[in-house]
Structure 1
Amino acid sequence: MRTLTRSGIVRFVFAFASMVLIALPAQIRAEIPAFKQAVAEAAALDRDIADFYRETEYAPIWTGPEALDQSRRRALLAALDTAAAHGLPAARYDVPGLLAMLADVRSARDLGKVEVAMSKAFLTYARDVQTGILKPGAVDDDIKREVPLRNRKGYLTDFVQASPDAFLRALPPHNPEYTRLMKGKLTLERTIERGGWGATVPGKKLEQGDSGPAVVALRDRLIAMGYLTRTATRSYDAEIMVAVQKFQAAHGLDTDGVAGGGTLTEINVSPEERLKSVIVAMERERWMNMERGKRHILVNLTDFTAKVMDDNKLTFVTRSVVGMNQHDRRSPEFSDEMEHMIVNPTWNVPRSIAVKEYLPMLKKNPNAAGHLNITDSSGRAVSRANVDFNQYTEKNFPFDMKQAPSNSNALGLVKFMFPNRYNIYLHDTPAKSLFARETRAYSHGCIRLAQPFDFAYTLLARQTDDPKGVFHKVLKTGRETQIDLEQNIPVHIIYRTALTTPRGQLEFRRDVYGRDAKIWNALDAAGVALIANRG
């Protein structure tokens, strides 16, 4: 048996294996020292398992004859049978091998080996389904996510004290997004099994009034995807335009109703590629299998939005600009807590920007970037006329550069701080035109907000009856001022190319930095199957 996917097969073989264990001769069960010795030897190279069995005096938790032991075996095998549905590598847990070992038990030593093999499979699955199979930073070093790994021995200790089925059901993320992604995965698998969404759409641009084979292909694909009800039209009519707008909205595109190059590229993406995005999103959800905060801020880099969420419901959303797709400017992914906002901020130019962008300008013209003040290490103003900037390099440039508060300040009129080692924050910007663009990856890494004032009002509304008045009273002073948040707010900077709506519809975004392609390649290498074989 190469892979095991049908729960019916699992139940049948498991029932057989259970009967074998129950029917073992009494003398085998009496060979307790041999069983314990086999457990100790089999667990020797896994410290957590070895410590667990040593502390429990090598008592079986899977292979005993009691009803609870049978219940644990049954629960584990049933959980392992669902691994592929979670986008996990089913072969990693070797269910056929476990069942073969169970069926071939002939001695107490055999029983001890099975005991440890089941514990190993249990621990591998438990950690995989709860916190993911990959180490985020090893896939892409801009993924700074700290995965909330649980203690391995603690899994075993807690499991033996709990209801087996309930314990295993509680392991995967229980947030609504993960549940909807699982359903979306199944829907895409069925779509692929039925042949996909049909022929791709040729051409570079289709719009209202067009007709011909390309429009028919567009019509058929929109119907197959569920954006258009059945119709026999061969022309790009109002119905098709509305369907295109629905598609565009679900893929983060400008909703102009014109099937231009960008829209057609997304329409022609195969269901297999979309399924990869969903499986990656599920792995990413497992990396964040933790309490995110009743109120939290969610910045999805691929969606170019910043949201305030309350009890998993959207309270506020604004467009954002994120880091451009260059090696030192891509916005990282991580979580932290927002502590305060700074109104009328001074922009302290990051050293990387000062030496890479402004120093070359100053070498050509000492008066370049005149909006910036230059100070020495003691904070004293430096006269540009008295400095030969050509003597400095990126390594020995000794000055600091900053921009005083103003409407033209690079940070705008407010920034929102969640102090972190990456020097990333949310802020206003005078470059408002960028928010009208479909793809908004233009910053040096920080997150720019289209509606920073409204964002501030939303945050302050929890601590004052007049958030707008409080904010503008400070703003009018023109002085840099810090407003503390009475309660810190978790901030999660995430990256999702597959996401869902509250009603369960799948939506997709472009892989702006190519990170999800890397994650899929790593999952594929780990044995994750694109299509879960259901037998």
Structure 2
Amino acid sequence: MKKVILTLLIGFTCALVAISCKDKDGKPTGDNIDNAFRFDSAKMDAFFSKYPDFKVYESEMKELYKKRDYHYVWFDKGGIVEFAESIFNQVNQIRSEGVAAQLPYKDQIDNLFYEDKHKKPDANDELLISAMYFFYAKNVYQGLDTKDSKETGWYLPREKVSYVAYLDTLMKDPKLLKKEGIEKIPLYYGLKKALYQYREIKGKGGWGKIEMDSAVKAFKPGDSSNTIAQVRKRLFISGDLKKNSESKVFDKELSREILAYKKRNNHNPDNLITPALVKDLNIPVEERIKTIIVNMERCRWLSPDLIKKGEYIAVNIPSFRAIYIKNGKLRLESNVVVGKELNETIVFSGKMSYLVFSPFWNVPPSIIKKEVKPGIEKDKDYLEKHDMEWNNGAVRQKPGPKNSLGLVKFMFPNSNNIYLHDTPSKGLFNKESRALSHGCVRVQKAKELAYAILEDDKNWNPKKIDEAMNGGKEMTYSLKKKIPVYIAYFTALVDDNGNVRFFEDVYNRDSRLADLLYKS
């Protein structure tokens, strides 16, 4: 009986000791720590001296191990843990994520997983795996830092993420490593599939070059030429045409697919084989791959939370298109005109807070200097002919059908003085390239956008909106609910059918971004 009591007391005492040796979060403290799975913090400085290419991750790695009291993350008594192998496998497939950067010290890291995975824990090996994790997280999830993205003209907000804290999330649910739609916007995953497809095409030799007689203005349905057969083959290789009959005759099937191709890629929507189309089709597959990669990088700069909101307006500069998402669904899509190269529309975000019907146009000082004053010098009636007037030393254009802002403008106050607006110059929307404005965004369906924005507002109906737009008197209306507006720059998109759509790099930003990616 005494032995039983003694055993119980010993057990109870040990339980108390065990409890007392944990902090309030349940982490081991004091003499109860298994020092076999812990290393001396001084070894971190030695590690970065030995592996200087990983010094970029020093602050985060020190934060990680300080948080864990310098316990091993990637080793247990059996060697390297399974989750470390998952990270290693993802790093070995990092090229599929459109990442050009090479993992430093890859041979040493390969040896850990291929030859020494069951070895006893070693601080140097432990830190190599941590550095590998941060390399993966920074390149696949974060991309270039904010300073670099701003250098490419990107001022949309970027979410700050702690990849130290995110490691805990991944370790609890390793499936997140491969799960789509969690860390990046849907476009990223569409481009990732396209990257695989275009690399397959490159591996098979690409799509060659189409030859077109310079004396031919265009081929039309019914014509016959070697050029037509080459166009057919090119569209088949890229997946735009389901089969290749190798025929030289311009038949209905080819005509239909050329029209679809032109519509997808912002060309004039006809079914002719023109020199412009041939020039576009002759862009090498290597260049298309580069375009896909730089746009995958831009996707990293956008948080999925931005587009999970039920209502927002998004403008994509290179495609000259705007969309209005309402209640999580596409409510309106419209062609737009954006700033020309000397007056680039800024990539940024704001919140639409009010509409102005029958607006005045306060002419910017730069336009007064370059256009209005020279016009007055040549013609004393210049202001009257353009429905303009002096106003406190400045010039403004009166409301009405001639007003450069059209009949309504959509305001989201910002330091760039950019907004969406109507325009009387409707013919501009028929142009293939629409980088033509002084920086603001002209909306083809401006009236329809006003209808859509105000359709749930009891104060308005289409008739009242039309009256306000054509009233000839400026009127401002504050929205009851502000609408997020995003102005972005993507030269490649993917449609619902998985087709890649390529657009003109109107501000020549792709090559600059590519240079940053391939140097990183």
> Which amino acid in the other structure matches residue 116 of structure 1?
L
Q: Which residue is equivalent to 2:420?
A: 426
Specify the code of the residue in structure 2 equivalent to 1:142: G
> What residue number does 1:387 align with?
none
Alpha-carbon shift at residue 317 of structure 1 (Å): 0.9
Please say if residues 142 and 331 of structure 1, whose CA atoms lie closer than 8 Å, have aligned partners that are also in contact.
Answer: no
Question: Are residues 1:487 and 2:501 paired?
Answer: no
Tell me, yes or no, if the aligned pair for 1:281 and 1:496 is still in contact at 8 Å: yes
Is residue 347 of structure 2 the alignment partner of residue 338 of structure 1?
A: no
Q: Distance in 1 between matches of 2:310 and 2:189?
A: 19
Aligned residues: 471
Residue 51 in 1 paired to residue 63 in 2?
yes
CA contact (8 A) 1:43 1:116 kept: no
Q: 1:143 to 1:33 in 2, by over 3 A?
A: closer
Residue 124 (structure 2) pairs with residue 113 (structure 1): yes
Equivalent in the alignment of 2:158: 147
Residue in 1 that maps onto 2:9: none
> 2:37, 2:72 within 8 Å by CA — same for their partners in 1?
no
Kept in 2, the 8 Å contact 1:173–1:285? The answer is: no
Cα offsets for 1:392-412 (capped at 9, x unmatched)? xxxxxxx32212211111101
- Cα shift at 1:186: 0.6
Q: In the alignment, does 2:419 pair up with 1:406? A: no
Specify the alignment match of 1:266 in structure 2: 280
* Distance in 1 (alpha carbons) for counterparts of 2:492 and 2:35: 55
Larger CA deviation: 425-434 vs 333-342? 333-342
The 3-state SS of whatever aligns with 2:447 is helix
> Once the 2 structures are TM-superposed, how far is the Cα of residue 267 of structure 1 from its aligned partner?
1.6
User: Aligned residue for 1:224?
Assistant: 237
The aligned counterpart of 1:305 is 321
1:93-104 aligned at under 5 Å gives the runs 94-100=105-111
Choose from 56, 73, 94 the match for 1:61. Answer: 73
> What residue in structure 1 maps to residue 15 of structure 2?
none
Deviations 1:197-245 (A, max 9, x none): 2442323432234323222222322332333333243222333322221
Structure 1 residues 168 and 401 mapped into 2: Cα distance closer, same or farther (>3 Å)? same
Give CA-to-partner distance per residue, 1:373-398, whole Å, 9 cap, x none.
Answer: 2233xxxxxxxxxxxxxxxxxxxxxx
What residue is the counterpart of 1:176 in the other structure? 186
Q: In the TM superposition, what whole-angstrom CA distance separates every residue of 1:413-443 from its partner, at most 9, and x where no partner exists? A: 1001111111111100111111111111110
Q: Given that residues 295 and 308 in structure 1 are in contact (C-alpha distance below 8 angstroms), is that contact kept between their aligned partners in structure 2?
A: yes
- Give the AA of the match of 1:89: A
Q: Deviations over 1:452-471 (max 9, x none)?
A: 10011111123349631342
> Which consecutive residues of structure 2, in runs of 5 or more, have no partner in the other structure?
1-33, 50-54
Structure 1: segments with no counterpart, 5+ residues: 1-28, 377-398, 527-535
Counterpart AA for 1:315: R
User: For the Cα contact (< 8 Å) 1:201–1:268, is it kept in 2?
Assistant: no
Which one is further off, 233-242 or 244-253? 233-242
- Do residues 455 (structure 1) and 465 (structure 2) align? no
Task: State the AA in 1 paired with 2:211.
Answer: V
- Classify the secondary structure of the residue corresponding to 2:299: helix
Q: Match for 1:65: what amino acid?
A: K
Task: Please report the TM-score for the alignment, with normalisation by the length of structure 2.
Answer: 0.82
Aligned to 2:19: none
Q: Which residue of 2 aligns with 1:210?
A: 223
| DSSP 3-state at the match of 2:325 | strand
- Specify whether residues 74 and 508 from structure 1 end up closer, same or farther in structure 2 by C-alpha distance, changes over 3 A only: same
How far apart in 2 are the matches of 1:172 and 1:63? 27
Pick from 73, 86, 103: which aligns with 1:75?
86
Classify the secondary structure of the residue corresponding to 1:92. coil
CA spacing shift, 1:48–1:227, aligned 2, 3 Å: closer
CA contact (8 A) 2:75 2:126 kept: yes
Indicate if the aligned counterparts of 1:123 and 1:155 stay in contact, CA closer than 8 A: no
Match of 1:234?
248
Letter in 2 for 1:218: V
How far 1:483 sits from its partner (Å)? 2.0
CA distance in 2: counterparts of 1:486 and 1:218, whole angstroms: 53
Q: Distance in 2 between matches of 1:366 and 1:141?
A: 44
Q: Say whether the 8 Å CA contact 2:212–2:275 is kept in structure 1.
A: no
* 8 Å Cα contact 2:141/2:300 also seen in 1: yes
CA shift, 1:31, in A, is 5.8
Aligned equivalent of 2:202: 192
Residue identity opposite 1:445 in structure 2: G
Mapped pair 1:350 → 2:364 = yes
1:231–1:164 Cα change, 3 Å: closer
Which structure would you say has the larger Rg? Answer: 2
Tell me the equivalent position of 1:381.
none
Q: Which amino acid aligns with 2:298?
A: R
- Cα deviation for residue 482 of structure 1 reads 1.8
The aligned amino acid for 2:500 is L
User: Structure 1: which amino acid aligns with 2:408?
Assistant: V
Q: Whole-Å Cα distance in 2 between the matches of residues 336 and 97 of structure 1?
A: 47
1:174 positional shift: 4.1
Structure 1 residues 185, 94: CA separation in 2 closer, same or farther (over 3 Å shift)? Answer: farther
Offset at residue 347 of structure 1 (A) = 0.9
- Name the CA shift for 1:47/1:139 in 2 (closer, same or farther; >3 Å): closer
Partners of 2:86 and 2:76 in 1: how far apart? 15
- C-alpha distance 190-288 of structure 1, shift in aligned 2 (>3 A): same
Which residue does the alignment assign to 2:437?
443
For residue 76 of structure 2, give the secondary structure of its aligned residue in structure 1.
coil
Compared with structure 1, are the counterparts of its residues 355 and 151 closer, same or farther at alpha carbon in structure 2 (3 Å cutoff)?
farther
Q: Tell me how far 1:324 sits from its aligned partner.
A: 1.1
Query: Take 2:427 and 2:302, find their aligned partners in 1: how far apart are those partners?
Result: 34
- Aligned with residue 102 of structure 2, among 68, 91, 94: 91
Task: Report how far residue 177 of structure 1 moved.
Answer: 1.8
Q: Are the structure 2 counterparts of residues 367 and 37 from structure 1 closer, same or farther at C-alpha, using a change threshold of 3 Å?
A: same
Paired residues of 2:223 and 2:249 also in contact (CA < 8 A): yes
Structure 2: how far apart are the matches of 1:156 and 1:73? 11
Are the equivalent residues in 2 in contact too, given 1:136–1:144 (CA < 8 A)?
no
- Indicate the residue corresponding to 1:131 in structure 2: 142
How far apart, in 2, do the equivalents of 1:269 and 1:134 lie? 30
- Quote how far apart the aligned CAs of 1:65 are: 2.8
Report the equivalent of 1:280. 294
Q: Which moved more, 1:341-350 or 1:456-465?
A: 456-465
1:271–1:134 Cα change, 3 Å: farther
Q: Deviations over 1:96-137 (max 9, x none)?
A: 3323356579998x8212222322222232132223235475
Identity %: 26
